[in-house]
Each structure stands twice: as structure tokens, then as C-alpha cells.
Chains A and B, each alone.
Chain A
């Protein structure tokens, strides 16, 4: 349960980190909080000859409120988002999501950029950034690049990042003031990776996503249509959401086992209820 030997390097600038990746090739790995990479190194599921620590690069921990959007450095920890240390463009969704990631000891070190770069399908930021319509910024041999968070993940643990790219920041558009949200993830134990996840945003913008799939989050356009015309959340709407979700999954050409679809449906209904301000344990008439 100890990592195999490697050389640890702590570059001062993002350009130096990229240069290290170019030099190290496939045997070089980037570490920030290390809350997923360190367990994998300890278990020797992953090996690295060169470990490049980007946690202290100042550019990566900076945050800026740009008015219409907020730019968050990739090295910002979940705890800083949870505690409201950075501007929140999401009407409270991001602090709520951050507060439910793993455990406090992990939130204090794990970073939003690390979570997106690893792209575990069950990771909370993968679905949250897609739902908020965020833009991902990264830096590589070819210089700075950007792309939508919704299309950032190609498959489980596979992103648009090339072997020499480092995720640098996430730009999150500010939700309209009237926008409300709901989020629910199914975990058998508090803090573990989710088995199913749903997130809905309504009011001004309408977006609905399923997360913790076998790959990228799944957008639910038919569910969004139902949500747009729903004045209240009742049993009728919940049935309609379930049916719309089935249509959207079928159209997405993704396959989910029956049990996963039931779990997703439950998450979607609970997230929707939350967006309507209904307490978690209430049953719709």
C-alpha cells in the first residue's frame, strides 16, 4: 500500500508544468489535491515516473467575478466553494454540491479541476458543471484552449484533455436571479461515490441532467420541456418526468440497466421536488 518510486516536481508556472508533461510523456502525472490520485498510487492501480504538483501555482487558485460569469481556478478546493470563500454564480447550488462531496477531510484538499480532469462519472462537478453550462479552460503545448463542460467528458475517465494539457480554470455563467435548482444523489453510505444523480435548474433557464452514469452526464431535453410548463410539482408531473426521462435516455443512445433507470428516476423526482421547495420526505398527492 505504498506508491512505487517516482520523482516529485513542483513547477511555479503553468507553462513549466506543461513542459514537464511534454518531457515526461505518458509516465508523467499531474497532482493537485491528490484525493483520487494518491489512493490509486498507493494501491498501484496507477504508476508515475514523474509527479507534477500544480497545487501551489498561484494562477490556479485565483477566482474572479466577471459579472456575467465567475472564473474559478482549477486548484480551488471543494471546501472553499462549500464555505463561500469564492463568488457564487449558482444561487447556492455549488456550495450545496461541494458540501456533499466525500468527507470534510477530503473536501479540504480535493480540487474542482482535479475532479473534472479525472472525470469519474460519479464525481459531482462533472454533472454540476454540465448543468450550469460552464466552460472549461486548459493549457497545453498548443497554448490555452477552451470547451463546453457539457462535451468535456467523452467517456469514464476520458476527457478532451490531451496528454500534455492541464486544466486551468472553469468559467461558470451566472444564473438568473429567479432561477431555482434541485439536486439529489443516491449513495448507500454518506460521502461515497453516487450510484445515481440528477440535477435540475428552472426559472430563466431550464436544464436537467442525469449523472453518475457509465460516462458523460446525460442531458434530458424532454424533461426540460415538462419542467418549463409545470406550475407545481404533483404526482402528475412526477409521472410525466419519469416518462420523459425514459424518452431522453432512449434518444441519447446510452444504455442504463433497469435498476439504474429506477434509481435515476427517483433522483430526478427528488431533485425536482427540491427545486419546488418540497421537503425531502414529503409524498406528492
Chain B
């Protein structure tokens, strides 16, 4: 069976016919050219396919495309100008936050959410919140350093330019780890 869905992908309205069993990850890669979505485990363990659905991070390999009728979806392709992603990209580069790069899109999307939730968090909070994203190259030290550095820089920018804060980082979400 196939069904027609309408959704927003990276700001663009999309109408598509999808097979009922197609995962959101496969749909976005094949029909929306969102090749930043990497499929590592395809059962929700590795985090490489993490994207943003209606403002909340989610794993695109364990949700169906047909379930997303009406959803607003962001992948890394649509976050190129996002100030937090821009800072994270620079910090990952400087701190050796990647080697092969396979986990990196998921790491960046998750790190953006960590910064939104916890701001300039301590190391244990960052490690805890990154636990759902697996990296087989780096040993995580560089990634954790990169996230903390990016968070600290963004917090610093925010305090020196209070007006920009609302657009840079979404509201802090209540509830801690």
C-alpha cells in the first residue's frame, strides 16, 4: 500500500507518495536528498540518523514516513545557517570531534539539542546526553570537548549581545537529567 503525505522538509512544502513501510530515514534520503542522514544500525541504537521533527530530536530510522503527514522536519541540510550548528561545526573541527564522519550529522543535531536544553553544561551532563549517539572512531573525548567549547562560546556571545539570545538558542527546556 502507498499513501500520499504532505509535510515540510527544511522549510519546503513537500507532497509525496510513500510506501506504508518506508522509514522516515529512507524517505528523506531518497526523496528529499537529505544524505546527511546516516543509517548505522536501523534499530534506534546508534543515533546517526537523528533529525528534528516539530522541534524535537528524533531517530528517523524508527519512525515511518507515513506517520509524519503534516510534520515540520529539519535535517542537517536545513541547518547550515543555524548559529548553533555553525559554532558546533567549528568546534568539532578544532577539537578533533570526528574522524570518519559517519556519526557526525547525528552528533551535531544532538549537540544542538543539548546546548538548547542545558546551556554551558558540565562534562558529565554532556556525556550523559550524548550517550545515545555512538562513535566508533574518536573515543568521544574530542566530541565532548567540542560540545562544551561550542556551548561556552555561544553563552559568551549571548551575554555580550543580549538581543541575539532569543534567536540563537531556543528557550531552556525544564527538566534535567
Residues of chain A touching chain B, judged by Cβ–Cβ distance below 8 Å, are: 1-8, 31, 34-35, 38-39, 42-43, 51, 53, 55, 79, 82-84, 95, 98-100, 102-106, 108-109, 189-191
Asked if A99 and B132 sit within 8 Å, CB to CB, the answer is no
Chain A residues near B152 (CB-CB < 8 A): none
B168 touches A (CB below 8 Å): no
Q: B45 — nearest CB in chain A belongs to which residue?
A: A39
Asked if A190 and B47 sit within 8 Å, CB to CB, the answer is no
B121 touches A (CB below 8 Å): no
Chain B residues near A82 (CB-CB < 8 A): 175
Contact of B44 among A2, A31, A35, A189 (CB under 8 A): A35
Chain B residues near A31 (CB-CB < 8 A): 67
- Per-residue contact bits, chain B 88-113, to A (CB 8 Å; 1 contact, 0 not): 00000000000000000000001001
Contact of A109 among B47, B63, B173, B176 (CB under 8 A): B63
- Per-residue contact bits, chain B 133-177, to A (CB 8 Å; 1 contact, 0 not): 100000000000000000000000000000000000000011111
Asked if B21 and A4 sit within 8 Å, CB to CB, the answer is yes
Rounded to whole angstroms, the CA-CA distance of A31 and B23 in the bound complex is: 14
Asked if B58 and A109 sit within 8 Å, CB to CB, the answer is yes
Asked if A6 and B21 sit within 8 Å, CB to CB, the answer is yes
Rounded to whole angstroms, the CA-CA distance of A103 and B3 in the bound complex is: 31
Chain B residues near A84 (CB-CB < 8 A): 174-175
Chain B residues near A105 (CB-CB < 8 A): 47, 50, 57-59, 110, 132
Query: When A and B form their complex, which 8 residue pairs have the shortest distance between CB atoms, in order from nearest?
Result: A103-B132, A190-B131, A38-B62, A39-B43, A1-B42, A8-B20, A108-B56, A83-B175
Rounded to whole angstroms, the CA-CA distance of A3 and B18 in the bound complex is: 14
- Can you report 8 residue pairs joining A to B where beta carbons are below 8 Å apart? A8-B1, A8-B66, A34-B64, A39-B43, A79-B56, A99-B177, A105-B57, A109-B53
Chain B residues near A7 (CB-CB < 8 A): 1, 20
Rounded to whole angstroms, the CA-CA distance of A98 and B174 in the bound complex is: 13
